[in-house]
Chain A
Amino acid sequence: MAVSNAAPIISTRFAADDGHTLAGYEASRGYTALRKALGMGPDAVLEEVKAANLQGRGGAGFPAGAKWGFLPKDVFPRYFVVNGDESEPGTCKDRPLMEHDPHQLLEGLLISCFAVRAAQAFVYVRGEMALAQERLATALNEAYAAGYVGRDIMGSGWSIDVVLHWGAGAYIVGEETALIESLEGQRGMPRLKPPYFPAAKGLYLQPTVVNNVETLSNIPWIVLQGGAAFAALGTEKAAGTRLFALSGHVRRPGVYEVEMGTTTFRDLVEAPVYGGGIRHGNGLKAFIPGGASAPWLYPEQLDLALDASVVGPAGSMLGSGAVIVMDDTTCAVRAAWRLVKFFAHESCGKCTPCREGGAWLEKILRRIIDGHGREEDIELLLDVGDNISPGPFPHPPLDGQPGVPFPFKQTTICPLGPSTVSPIHSSILRFRDEYLIHIKEGGCRHD
């Protein structure tokens, strides 16, 4: 079976005992990329990152270089914020980057701050990740003492402070404007758009770049090897390598770094070096390709490439790099209910369709599972969903197959609301019969 052959870029120190220490990092690469970047100057670094076509790894997939380019000219100070709030269900690839390779992240951050002329940087780590906080605090202390962070970095005359910050349990704070609100000491509620990017108005209403942990971890390599070398990996529209968290009913769940564009979901699920196939030789029922928010895909879509421009038209998204595999013993109604419960619980409450709709959707699904479902409940689910994410269901045929409405349309301030609807649509589209069995027989054939 064809599997990715590009050498890993960001996971090279995952297995090393001392990869997280400054000594371990200096032994393998050290802050050589930062030194090189300081010699190149900010604009040249920005050009390399643009040339790399490095798409954001946090969920939206926006190219990092282009995002940095949105910063309004001559408006200072500018801030840089690392999004380390990883909490999209299924996703667990930023945590190993913070735990096993904090210096790589810090070096990427420092280079990025230099490129965009940021005044100060904040690393926002998810509250529940105590070890990641310890590793980053240690790494920052080492880097400050060694002269890689703070005043007059490596004698270059350039200075920046990096402050470690952490949250306190709220998924929505991963949304970048909510992250900024939280960093300002507020309740973590997304801001109204426009402005669409914090690059225009972010922290303290100043120009701000928010980037994901994995996105930034790629920057040292890009500076050392050149943007073109990164862009040469994968395909034209999906450059470089990416970490995928493969979970659920595979033989070998794990976090794997693979080449984008040239690797397929089938490689990930079936190759012996990755998933190793479905457990117990069971059949595949469905898989979620990009974290809990993503519409589900089905067995005949396994050969899609790991490329946002391929997965999008197929009716879903690469999202946060989380592939959740469900075998044929899975109850689709129960899986959908658990995802909806999550979004309903994590709704920040700022807009009515999400706050009220999410809670009702969860209750309706719960009563179906508990054997009290009504025949009209399926239509009711779709109707409530339509108030959050309007559009025809199913979507007009795509490649001969009707799909889930995607990309989401929304009546809400942020995409969390529509994410509540995606598991409902995905499960009703393919597994309406399972809903009917629950409703008519009060039970489930998977119990």
Chain B
Amino acid sequence: MARLSAESEELARTIIPRYPRSRSALIPLLHVAQEQDGWVSPEAIAHIAELLDLTPVEVLGTCSFYGMFKLHPVGRYVVGVCTNISCLLLGGEELLAHCEARLGIKAGATTDDGMFTLEDVECIAACTDAPCLQVNYRYFLNLTHEQADALFDDLRAGRRGDEVPEHGTLTRVRQRIASERWSGHGAEGLPVPPGQVR
């Protein structure tokens, strides 16, 4: 596990100038790191700190607030089963228990083969399609226990690669702004005042 690759660093360098203050790019850059390695390594944190002129501890301080950033390696597929209210009412807890039994791990753990990490998650905004789960933040809705079994079998056999990329990849489409279309922060042409907020 490593610092950002040349490719990741180049991506990071296109993201940073989109913000009036470079620190705003911190969360997007942490996603770049997690996309590269599947988790956020100490080396990546140090590299991001260099790119943003922060200390590694400032980067870690922000990073550790957010539950999606994993500070240790996790499974190729992170399965999040919602047990919040709307799902609780329609079998979310039972679905989680079924997944635990099927994968042979408790929520919070990773299978020995490194395939799956199982999580008991809060509402994922699919409440009208309960019970539901996400695999690497892709939705599987109104799920029966049999459908969950089939899904895990497919993932293990590598049959759903198109639908579910490896953990760390969120959007597979990047925002691109051609330089001649970029207006450069300011309809009024007013510069951002200098100085840090804090």
> Which A residues lie at the B interface, using CB under 8 A?
76-77, 86-92, 94-95, 113, 117-120, 126-131, 133-134, 137-138, 140-141, 144-145, 147, 149-152, 158-161, 163-171, 182-188, 204-206, 245-249, 253-255, 288, 292, 322, 324, 326, 330, 334-335, 338-339, 342, 345-346, 348
9 contacts between A and B (CB under 8 A): A95-B125, A168-B30, A184-B24, A186-B23, A204-B20, A204-B197, A248-B86, A253-B127, A339-B85
A120–B180 alpha-carbon span in the complex (Å): 17
Nearest A residue to B22, CB-CB: A185
| A131-B138 contact given A137-B173, A182-B27, CB 8 Å threshold | yes
Chain A residues near B86 (CB-CB < 8 A): 89-90, 247-248, 253, 324
With a cutoff of 8 Å between Cβ atoms, the chain A residues found around residue B26 in the complex are: 185
Q: Do B171 and A130 have beta carbons less than 8 Å apart?
A: yes
Question: C-beta contact mask, B150-182 vs A, less than 8 Å → 1, else 0?
Answer: 000000000000000000001111111110111
How far is A130 from B167 in the complex, measured between Cα atoms in Å?
Answer: 12
Segment with Cβ contacts to A, from B63-71, B95-103, B106-114 = B63-71
Given A133-B170, A204-B197, do A128 and B124 touch, yes or no (CB 8 Å)? yes
Partner of A204, one of B18, B21, B134, B190: B21
Give Cα A171–Cα B90 distance, bound, in whole angstroms.
22
Q: What 10 A-B pairs have minimum CB-CB distances, sorted nearest first?
A: A185-B26, A168-B66, A159-B183, A133-B171, A169-B68, A185-B23, A169-B67, A150-B181, A247-B86, A89-B123
The reply to whether A120 and B20 form a contact with Cβ atoms under 8 Å apart is: yes
Is A168 within 8 A of B123, CB to CB?
no
Whether a CB of chain A sits under 8 angstroms from the CB of B25 is: yes
Given A89-B123, A185-B25: A134 and B173 interface contact (C-beta under 8 Å): yes
Residues of A within 8 A of B176 (CB): 141, 144
How far apart are A78's CB and chain B's nearest CB, in angstroms?
A: 8
A164 to B28, CA, bound (A): 10
Q: How far is the CA of A119 from the CA of B190 in the complex (A)?
A: 8
If the complex has contacts A128-B134, A167-B66, A248-B89, are A87 and B125 also in contact, measured as CB distance less than 8 A?
Answer: yes
Contact B68 A168 (CB under 8 A): yes
- What residues of chain A lie closer than 8 Å to B171, measured between beta carbons? 130, 133-134, 137, 166
* Contacts beyond the supplied A128-B80, A322-B127, A326-B89: 7 A-B pairs with Cβ under 8 Å: A152-B183, A167-B68, A184-B197, A186-B62, A253-B128, A324-B127, A334-B88
Shortest Cβ gap from A168 to chain B (Å)? 4
**Chain B residues with CB under 8 A of A129:** 125, 137
Interface status of B129 (Cβ within 8 A of chain A) = yes
Closest to A336 in B: B85
Please tell me which one of the listed residues A113, A168, A254 contacts residue B128 in the complex, with CB atoms under 8 A apart.
A254
Instruction: Provide the bound-state CA to CA distance between A164 and B25, in Å.
Output: 11
- By the criterion CB–CB under 8 Å, are A94 and B62 in contact? no
Pairwise interchain contact A117-B188, C-beta atoms closer than 8 A: yes
Which residue from A113, A152, A338 sits with its C-beta under 8 Å from B84?
A: A338
Q: B104 within 8 Å of A by Cβ?
A: no
The residue among A149, A169, A339 with the most chain B CB atoms within 10 A of its own CB is A169
> B110 to nearest A CB, angstroms?
18
Chain B residues closer than 8 Å to A186, beta-carbon distance: 23, 62
Q: Which residues of A contact B28 (CB under 8 A)?
A: 165-166
B126 within 8 A of A: yes
Q: How far is the CB of A59 from chain B (nearest CB, A)?
A: 14
Tell me the nearest residue of chain A to B18, going by C-beta: A163
User: What residue in chain B is nearest A143 (Cβ atoms)?
Assistant: B181
Q: How far is the CA of A130 from the CA of B68 in the complex (A)?
A: 12
A165 to B27, CA, bound (A): 9
Q: Using A168-B68, A247-B130 as known contacts, say yes or no to A161 and B170 having CB atoms under 8 A apart.
A: no
**A94 touching B125 by the CB < 8 A rule?**
yes
Q: Please give the distance in Å from B95's CB to the nearest CB on chain A.
A: 14
**How far is A104 from B170 in the complex, measured between Cα atoms in Å?**
23
Give bound CA distance, A304 to B52, whole Å.
Answer: 52
Judge if B140 is at the interface, Cβ distance under 8 Å.
no
Q: Which residues on the A side are within 8 Å of B20 (C-beta)?
A: 77, 120, 204
Partner of B19, one of A147, A152, A163: A163
Judge if B122 is at the interface, Cβ distance under 8 Å: yes
**CB contact under 8 A between A87 and B123, given known A77-B192, A127-B66, A134-B173:** yes
Q: Does B83 make an interface contact (CB < 8 A)?
A: yes
Residues of A within 8 A of B124 (CB): 128
In Å, the complex CA distance between A342 and B86 comes to: 12
